[in-house]
Amino acid sequence: MKHEFPSISRDIVLALVIGATIVLLLAVAENQDVAPNLNRILLSPGLRLAHATGYGTHDIGVVLAMVADVTVYGFVSFLVLRVLRTMLS
């Protein structure tokens, strides 16, 4: 139990880095017109949140959309990391 906290904190940080990487890669792919419809679907949680708050075109809306997308993909990555660690232990 003593080593559980560093493992969880390491997984949280790693998951957020993975989430940020996914969002950046999707944004670059959307900018280069690589599968634009798929990218819009994958980036839609943050965009929907930004439009729901009324800040869709403002700078705060862009930041809100990025943070929401990083959180969504970071959470999914965290779950995958924890499941893999549990299965491999």
pLDDT tens profile 46-55: 777 777 777 6
The CB density around residue 29, as the number of other CB atoms within 10 Å, is 16
Q: How many CA atoms lie within 13 A of 35 on its CB side?
A: 9
Q: Which two three-digit tokens encode residue 12?
A: 């949280």
Q: pTM of the full predicted structure?
A: 0.76
pLDDT tens profile 11-23: 999 999 999 999 8
Question: 77 CB contacts (<8 Å, ≥6 apart)?
Answer: 14, 15, 18, 19, 22
Question: What is the average pLDDT value for the chain, to the nearest integer?
Answer: 83
Looking at per-residue confidence, does 40 or 82 come out higher?
Answer: 82
pLDDT of residue 1: 52
Question: 53 CB contacts (<8 Å, ≥6 apart)?
Answer: 61, 64
